[in-house]
Structure 1
Amino acid sequence: MSDTTVEKHAFQAEIQQLLDLVVHSLYTDKDIFLRELISNASDSMEKVRHLEGTEKDIKDSGDELKISLEIDKDAKTITLTDRGIGMNREELVANLGTIAHSGTKAFLEQLKETGGSPAGLIGQFGVGFYSAFMVADKVEVFSRSWKQDAQSLRWESDGKTGYEIEEVDELPRGVKIILYLNEASEEFADDMRVKGLIERYSNFVGFPIMMDDKRLNEVEALWLKSKSEVSEEDYKEFYKFACKGFDEPAYRLHFSADAPISINALIFAPGENPEKMGFGKVDAGVALYCKKVLIDAEPKGLLPDWLRFVKGVVDSADLPLNISRETMQDSALVRKLNGVISKRIIKMFEKEANADPAKYREFYKKFERFFKEGIATDFANKDALAKLLRFESSMTDAGELCSLTDYVGRMKEGQEKIYFLVGRSRDDIESGPYIEAFKARGLEVIYFTDSVDEYVVDSLGEFDGKKLSSIRHAGVDLEDVDSGADSLSEDEITKLCEYLQNELGDGVTKVSSGKRLVDSPVIALVPEDGMSPQVRQMMKAMDENFKDEVKVELEINPRHPLVKKLSEITEGQPEVAKLVAAQLLDNALISAGLLDDARETIKRMNSLMEKAMG
């Protein structure tokens, strides 16, 4: 070491205060100290690359650009060396003392006045280096600038009292940082612990990170490459390593965008759904990077919650980060990312569904709940998501799925509504009375058989300008169809409807003759604002004291033999007619899934059978 004077600098009072904030407040996780130092080293070597294109006389020109790590378990030290641009004396003071510039006092005053979080205010202070003092009692920095006539220097500080600078014997270009770990951080003097930090935070840094002559960051940042440069095998390996995928990805999205924000993304849709396999709600699987450095493995708000099943990486060089890289200051920017990426993912699914419908149907069966959740919760994307829905209908074979776009393409001329029915199963729907009038008229009806479908339909409301209309509801207007059967006269229909209204009393809101029925005698219709059977069942399951007084419209089929016979006996056999009228209502409620208590129904059936047998 040269015989030179040690130049000592004391921290001013506000600098000590700010340094205390950096070490104890800005960083909530000690693990990120190494990420910060590696990121700085990487930036320094990027500057060397740029200089090599513009400058001729560079110290150690042509040397390999790499980051080296050494762990000394006995001395409890971590040494990090880079071959970057290095620093001269003035730059050491400026770069490692950035927090000491004139804005510091103003910053502290602003913090005092607003009572705000330092993490939200300190973005303009580039002090990632000082995260080293979260784990170190003392830090030494050996530095040699890229200029040929530059000095070799040593900077040292305990992060409390100040720092000192002295000239030392000749060093290679770059920076060497030695961390003398404090007692609470000795766990980091361990090869495996450090390797874990590299893998988590710095695995995709563009320069080799070496330890014990072995490269630690072997996986490339594929999201920054052109798609033509990446093989299928590369994608699969990346999915398994970076996304911790245990299956084969079903789809992937690899894209770059410059507007409205700089984005490089590589996102995978997995082949299996862990939530459906019983693992509970999964965490967000798309990590956020800035220039290949991990910012957040599970960023909140980067994507809507319904997209939590996708995995991958989003990298944006436009992110304005605070000092710790742990918080994004501009939430509007996060919303932009959310909007751009979620729309791209939806477009990708739509494209894949059109290209290979059979493959998409199998994928959809595993992940449909996520798309339906999106329609109910993501207003901005619900119309686009509606195109991804798949379902059975009265015009598909059992097990065959179609889309709302398919349905609209098959609508009859003049049809203004998309008809649907929610039920437990296809068989349950097709065995009931609601579907027969639509089949007779060649009108397609969508079968929704998932317990959440009612909420999906309520949230969606319409598709392609066509209102979604439940055929269980009153008010559906159908054209006449000739059934070939004789019907009651207008006077007989009016008289029978009045009779049923009087006999059934508060059990019905209205009795009328309609065009819906072909083979069934009566049907119970729910008001448009009334609860469906599925919602009622769920409410009862959630609250044992739940009470919902069932109010339905009763529609009769004036061509049905039972209805015509009832019309005949209302005066001649009033006792039987009364029993039949009540039984018809209960039968309609049973078909509608609205009869809660069948005890009276059974007693009445017994009475009817006694009378039938004399």
Structure 2
Amino acid sequence: MQKGNIGVTTENIFPIIKKFLYSDHEIFLRELVSNAVDATQKLKTLASKGEFKGELGDLTIRVKAENDTIVISDRGLGLTAEEIDKYINQIAFSGANDFLAKYKDDANAIIGHFGLGFYSAFMVAKKVEIVTKSYQEGAQAVKWTCDGSPEFTLEETEKADRGTDIILYVDDDCKEFLEENRLKGLLNKYCRFLAVPVAFGKKKEWKDGKQVDTDEDNIINDTCPIWTKKPSELKDEDYKKFYRDLYPMSDEPLFWIHLNVDYPFNLTGVLYFPKIKSNIDLQKNKIQLYCNQVYVTDSVEGIVPDFLTLLHGVIDSPDIPLNVSRSYLQSDSNVKKISTYITKKVADRLQSIFKNDRKEFENKWDDLKIFINYGMLTQEDFYSKADKFALFKDTEGKYYTQEEYKTLISGNQTDKDGNLIYLYANNRDEQYAYIDAAVNKGYNVLMMDGQLDVPMINMLEQKLEKSRFTRVDSDVIDRLIVKDEQKGEELKEDKRSLLSTVFSGQLPKLQKTEFHVEAQAMGENASPVIITQAEYMRRMKEMANIQPGMSFYGEMPDMYSLVLNSDHKLIKQVLSETETACAEKLVPVESEIAILSLRESELHKAHEGKKDEEIPVAEKDELKDVEKKLEEQRNQKNSILNEYAAGNKVVHQLIDLALLQNGMLKGEALTNFVKRSIEMI
């Protein structure tokens, strides 16, 4: 029997291993089963080269839990006493102390850096035994024992068959790993696609009302998952079945991309575009990363471009080590090449589907749009490819590429300054009247109701030359695309002011909402009253919901314009009736306003070019007095008009109709509107 100390230049490796990343100490099973797979595959390689002439036989790796132990057994290469001494006992590496000090809080870094996968066993075990027999002819079986201190024993033992048994005497605080369901869950997570069969217990069957073991091994893994096969060997149903196995509760995917590259790095995998039911469904961490069919992580930021982390599926690359840290992923040049390759592959596949089956692509566009928009917003090299197949959808449900849409609207939707105006809506029902007015004018309206459409619009305005996006309800139809066309005859300023006062005074007081009233000639067939919301402020408020740095816009009130169509007979009627009904009261007030305004003007003129000290005090006092009286007379005029308007049902009905059309008439105001409508009928 040999006794000795493990050749590690520091005594603190075991306490460090033991306390590493408590939540991650489950990786011990991945490391030990992966080692068993390596030993088995190396034996198969030797057999294929003729360097091992024995029978390979059953190569199944077996995992079992019994009597407070977990045992992992393989029939691979096995180890000689010399090999145990070399690979297990001699962890003598230069700079070990420095490295351990630097990475004492990162288990993956230490295990990965020194190939110490085996030592992860001490995360859960108070004692570990290796019982092993080399494949070499005449080899002597040996048993290595260590209790988690640097001391070990190595002695000869009996073992009938080649291969290795790792026996873990599970520590008291890790008994959970002895439970069948816990072990089954870990094997399913880390080992379900290993290249060598892994058995955990026996298959069960129902007998006499209960489940009993059969004689058949319960193989937990698929040794040839679809990403290891050629696309030509697979049917659509194979891809769909694999997706159902990975994500049992998900809808069928839209489509998939089979990755397969061997230069300048090795990468295989299948990425799926999932069907998203709602914005809430957006979930990352659905792509699983494997290294030679061994599960590594489902946190793939850095390997997969950010926008593609919304996809589901599997990526397998031996060029990414099993034990990866985030800093490694961010700095490794291979990882960056992989990210670039995946972006290109996804773009090429989308372009191919669009080119070969545009109808199918259009059918799936509403589901695809979130991925493609996200990619175009965050990845410049993706935008340069995606602008060929990214689609616009109009309110009639027709689809266009950017180039096709530009050609469609350039004739009729160019303003007087040569800007191409893209009109859009984000709710077909709520904005129907505005859409209808635009369509009747010969314009096309885009449907932009996706959660990323606001930032997309901002980006497209920068990318597309002399182009502007305007929501269809942001102004009256004649001002959406200004072409120097004037319709109808504009009212004089005093009449516009009178109408503005009549309607302003009757507008409801809504929280965080401000109205500006104006009169404009829009043609006698246009609506009498229309509510619009300026594009800039509304868009800034929408961006505030997405970008925290713009939250101050979110605090500002909503600013609306109530535009009165001075050509419409109802507005003309209100103007005429107001002038008639209020004439007697208004004449003396307006006369006084005219006199005061004239005197105000004379005084201002007299003061022009004079310094403050050069103006006589009497004139300053008179000007203040005139301004005060003017304000009083104007307030009186407004009061007369508001008193009249308060009893004018047509004014209230027109305001309420405009509010109703914009979903702003609620509660008591809506009830009053219904009652008034019945009375007027």
Match for 1:288: what amino acid?
L
Aligned partners of 1:143 and 1:171 also within 8 Å: no
Match for 1:329: what amino acid?
Y
> In structure 2, what is the Cα distance between the partners aligned to 1:606 and 1:250?
51
SS in 1 for 2:422: strand
Query: Identity percentage over the alignment?
Result: 23
SS in 1 for 2:11: helix
1:417 maps to: 420
Q: 1:99 aligns with which of 91, 98, 102?
A: 91
1:519 maps to: 526
1:431 maps to: 433
- Asked if 1:586 is matched to 2:586, the reply is no
Match for 1:412: what amino acid?
S
Match for 1:289: what amino acid?
Y
Match for 1:251: what amino acid?
F
2:41 maps to: 46
Residues 376-395 of structure 1 show CA distances to partners (whole Å, capped at 9, x for unaligned) of 888886787786566442xx
Deviation at 1:252, TM superposition (A): 1.5
Deviation at 1:227, TM superposition (A): 0.5
Match for 1:527: what amino acid?
A
> In structure 2, what is the Cα distance between the partners aligned to 1:77 and 1:530?
65
Q: 2:29 aligns with which of 23, 26, 34?
A: 34
Change beyond 3 A, Cα 1:262–1:599: same
Q: 2:145 aligns with which of 141, 156, 171?
A: 156
More moved, 312-321 vs 402-411: 402-411
Aligned partners of 1:139 and 1:177 also within 8 Å: yes
Q: Map of 1:337-416 to 2, 5 A cutoff? A: 340-341=341-342, 344-345=345-346, 348-349=349-350, 351-352=352-353, 355-356=356-357, 359-360=360-361, 363-364=364-365, 388=390, 391-393=393-395, 396=396, 400-403=397-400, 405=402, 407-413=405-411, 415=414, 416=419
SS in 2 for 1:531: helix
1:227 maps to: 231
Change beyond 3 A, Cα 1:65–1:602: closer
Aligned partners of 1:254 and 1:265 also within 8 Å: yes
- Asked if 1:181 is matched to 2:170, the reply is yes
2:470 maps to: 469
Aligned partners of 1:420 and 1:446 also within 8 Å: yes
Change beyond 3 A, Cα 1:553–1:260: farther
Residues 92-113 of structure 1 show CA distances to partners (whole Å, capped at 9, x for unaligned) of 22321353323322323445xx
Change beyond 3 A, Cα 1:161–1:356: same
- Asked if 1:71 is matched to 2:49, the reply is no
Aligned partners of 1:423 and 1:448 also within 8 Å: yes
Change beyond 3 A, Cα 1:330–1:564: same
Q: 1:83 aligns with which of 71, 76, 100?
A: 76
Q: Give the structure with the higher percent helix.
A: 2
1:3 maps to: none
More moved, 331-340 vs 572-581: 572-581
Change beyond 3 A, Cα 1:440–1:250: closer
1:124 maps to: 113
Aligned partners of 2:145 and 2:152 also within 8 Å: yes
SS in 1 for 2:537: coil
> In structure 2, what is the Cα distance between the partners aligned to 1:602 and 1:232?
57
> In structure 2, what is the Cα distance between the partners aligned to 1:53 and 1:604?
88
SS in 1 for 2:168: strand
Deviation at 1:25, TM superposition (A): 0.7
- Asked if 1:205 is matched to 2:177, the reply is no
Deviation at 1:171, TM superposition (A): 6.5
SS in 1 for 2:480: coil
1:442 maps to: 442
Aligned partners of 1:493 and 1:513 also within 8 Å: no
> In structure 2, what is the Cα distance between the partners aligned to 1:242 and 1:290?
17
Residues 113-134 of structure 1 show CA distances to partners (whole Å, capped at 9, x for unaligned) of xx86454466421111012223
Aligned partners of 1:480 and 1:515 also within 8 Å: no
User: How many residues end up aligned between the 2 structures?
Assistant: 578
Q: TM-score, normalised by structure 1?
A: 0.74
> In structure 2, what is the Cα distance between the partners aligned to 1:121 and 1:70?
25
> In structure 2, what is the Cα distance between the partners aligned to 1:335 and 1:552?
48
SS in 2 for 1:138: strand
SS in 1 for 2:99: helix
Structure ranking higher on relative contact order (CA contacts 8 Å, 6+ apart): 1
Deviation at 1:38, TM superposition (A): 1.7
Aligned partners of 1:292 and 1:315 also within 8 Å: yes
Deviation at 1:445, TM superposition (A): 1.3
Deviation at 1:231, TM superposition (A): 3.1
Aligned partners of 2:127 and 2:146 also within 8 Å: yes
> In structure 2, what is the Cα distance between the partners aligned to 1:518 and 1:35?
75
> In structure 2, what is the Cα distance between the partners aligned to 1:496 and 1:261?
76
Which protein shows a greater Rg?
Answer: 2
Query: 5+ unaligned residues in a row in structure 1: which ranges?
Result: 1-5
> In structure 2, what is the Cα distance between the partners aligned to 1:524 and 1:594?
11
2:329 maps to: 330
Change beyond 3 A, Cα 1:525–1:493: farther
- Root-mean-square deviation (Å): 5.0
Residues 427-471 of structure 1 show CA distances to partners (whole Å, capped at 9, x for unaligned) of 432324x652x3344221124456885566456656654432223
> In structure 2, what is the Cα distance between the partners aligned to 1:139 and 1:331?
36
Change beyond 3 A, Cα 1:63–1:195: same
Deviation at 1:80, TM superposition (A): 1.1
> In structure 2, what is the Cα distance between the partners aligned to 1:161 and 1:98?
11
